[in-house]
Structure 1
Amino acid sequence: MATTRLTPCELETVKLNLFSGADLQPLLEEQQAYWSKYLHWSFNSTKQLVIHNLNMRNLNGVVLTKAGRPIGYSFFIQEGCKALIGDLFLSAAYRDKSTERFLLKTILHWAAEHPGVQRIEGQLLTLSLSLQNESIHGRPLQIFRRLFMMTNGLDYPLKPCPTRSYLQFTPWADHYLDAAAHLIAHTYRNHVDSLINDQYHSYDGARRFLYNTSHHSGCGTFHQPAALVAIYTPSREICGVCLASVVESQVGHVTQLCVAPHVAGQGLGYELLRRSLNAFRESGCEAVGLTVTESNNRATHLYESVGFRTIHRFQAFTWEAHEYLTAPDLHQKTN
């Protein structure tokens, strides 16, 4: 489809809360088709949630219009002093780099100027614009390259990896939430992914992330058969966790894979992943996806070794109003 190049004078930004779900229905339908075609992910539950919040008039964001017709939108959700860019989408007929940049800059400035916001986070899978040297109010965006990987190799079960006798595997259950949150907060300390998602900085944030992943549909429908934990039997502590969801008919997604540093390098990440993929296969899934930070070499090598291949590249970004977050001793982790 040919793209219609627009100049800023042809565009108008309008507050998102002035629109109803019906007003943006055609745009959301197009977005749903895009996610299904290119990411093999059902956007329907997210679409319904966006429509609900539009009708409640409680989303902070903007709609980009041309001659009064919505051609794109973006919104953010405020969590304390953080603004999380929830989405950004442009209709294919107008999806060029200059228009994407215009919409992105608009929502970033809007979020940065919102009362109480000190930090912005975003991971926009449908953004084709390559970000570099971007700044808001003189403060730079920190950019992280991310990969969306998938495997279709579920025809046969993966071979088990011999693991230490002191490791025990058990299905995920809610009573592991607290222990898993401590594991994630400890393992992600000084890790690049803790710069992308500040929920990994603390036990409270990690627990909130785990609860949302296992109880809400933001990252698909939680799939308990493919979720499990590894127990270090001498102390009965969790030393590994793998969480999973279903994002479309016969398509699974690994939402979290984390291994404690003291048992890393012993094949535990592979074994957790193997068991999860086999459970997806037994549930009728034909493909499984996941996302990973490109610089996380240990993780990407593991995923490639079991058949995952990159189907899409995207970017995560953060912005700090004041002192910039740094991680002087980044290490590699399986996720």
Structure 2
Amino acid sequence: MRLPEPIPLTQIDVAQMTGLLDEETQRYQEWYRWDFRATAELVKQLVATRSLGGMALVDGGRVVGYSYFVIDDTKALIGDAYVCDVWASAASERLLLATTLEAVREFSQVRRLESQPMMLRYAYSHPKAVRHERMFLEVPLAEVRWPNGVQEPAGYRIENWAWRAEEDAAQLLYRAYRGHMDSEINDQYRAPGKSRSYLANLIRYPVCGDFCPAASFTVTEKENGQTVGMVLTTVSEQVGHIAQLCVESSARGRGLGRLLLWAALAKFSELGCEYSTLTVTAANEVAIRLYNSAGYVERSRVAAYVWPGWPF
């Protein structure tokens, strides 16, 4: 079987990417109901300036697949990998990922590699990668199992997202995910400084829509004002996405996660959304029970990969 030619993304003209990115935007909408347009435009800008690391699969001068990665200190993150409908095959995707790994090798400072490729169509594995199953969940808001009422637990206050809370939120991410299974997938949860970077990217460059302050909330302790829980959301057209929901360990078991989830869902409905989506690690049974109780069901699965011993 003939395969397309792999070429570094820095050697590609942006005009060669337009058709592929338009198709990927459509597939994101079909598969996840997410709005990929802003991310596609950012990819075009970075390709145009030849400042985005990654690989392109080329056939007859047309880009039929691509990947990109970013380097953050000693970590590399493969942010996307997509092959167009016509060229979609397990062999094409393996070629794209194999050449992307080789491109990352050129950065000698990298000691860890992460990826959660949402757009792969075929099963992928790598002998040196740790694979974590992730679930994509969805609920039509017309089918949400609304409770009779949700009250603030004694001693806590729920508030709308305020930009002044950003630093407190970054500190909360570090505390909430300390020792958590998701910190094995994303090492930005492991240090306050990295959590700040993760939070900034989540708010400013979401893949699944625009950050929605109106449907994002924090929970604080009334006694000392410390932030102990939060839900961060995005909205694109008729879809409200739960991008982040966490409660620090010392405050768990009090119904704060439930309180935050219902607050977000209620606001999604008020804003006219028709669906809500989220992703969750398949091994996180506590979180899955919470989401199932609201009516979320599994629609598909993706995988997150970590190469902790990079380079091998």
Q: TM-score, normalised by structure 2?
A: 0.94
Q: Which residue number in structure 1 is paired with residue 303 of structure 2?
A: 315
Pairing 1:250–2:238 present? yes
Q: Which residue number in structure 2 is paired with residue 64 of structure 1?
A: 57
Report the Cα offset of residue 129 of structure 1: 2.7
Q: Which residue number in structure 2 is paired with residue 89 of structure 1?
A: 82
Counterparts of 2:241 and 2:142 in 1: how far apart (Å)?
A: 13
* Structure 1 SS opposite 2:135: strand
Report the Cα offset of residue 162 of structure 1: 4.1
Q: Which residue number in structure 1 is paired with residue 136 of structure 2?
A: 148
Q: Which residue number in structure 2 is paired with residue 276 of structure 1?
A: 264
Q: Which residue number in structure 2 is paired with residue 124 of structure 1?
A: 117
* Structure 2 SS opposite 1:93: coil
Which of 227, 249, 256 does residue 216 from structure 2 map onto? 227
1:261-320 deviation per Cα after TM superposition (whole angstroms, max 9, x unaligned): 122122111111001110111011111111111110111111111011111210111113
Q: TM-score, normalised by structure 1?
A: 0.88
Pairing 1:113–2:106 present? yes
Unaligned runs of 5+ in 2: none
Pairing 1:195–2:195 present? no
- Aligned residues: CA RMSD: 1.9
> In structure 1, what residue type is equivalent to 2:146?
L
1:240-260 deviation per Cα after TM superposition (whole angstroms, max 9, x unaligned): 1111111x2111111110012
Unaligned runs of 5+ in 1: 1-5, 325-335
Cα contact 1:167–1:230 (8 A) shared by 2: yes
In the alignment of these two chains, the number of paired residues is: 311
Which of 53, 61, 84 does residue 46 from structure 2 map onto? 53
Report the Cα offset of residue 212 of structure 1: 2.3
Which of 94, 98, 113 does residue 101 from structure 1 map onto? 94
Q: Which residue number in structure 2 is paired with residue 35 of structure 1?
A: 28
Pairing 1:21–2:14 present? yes
Against the structure 1 CA distance between its residues 69 and 210, is the aligned structure 2 distance closer, same or farther, given a 3 Å change threshold? closer
Counterparts of 2:268 and 2:15 in 1: how far apart (Å)?
A: 36
Cα contact 2:110–2:311 (8 A) shared by 1: no
Q: Which moved more, 1:288-297 or 1:178-187?
A: 178-187
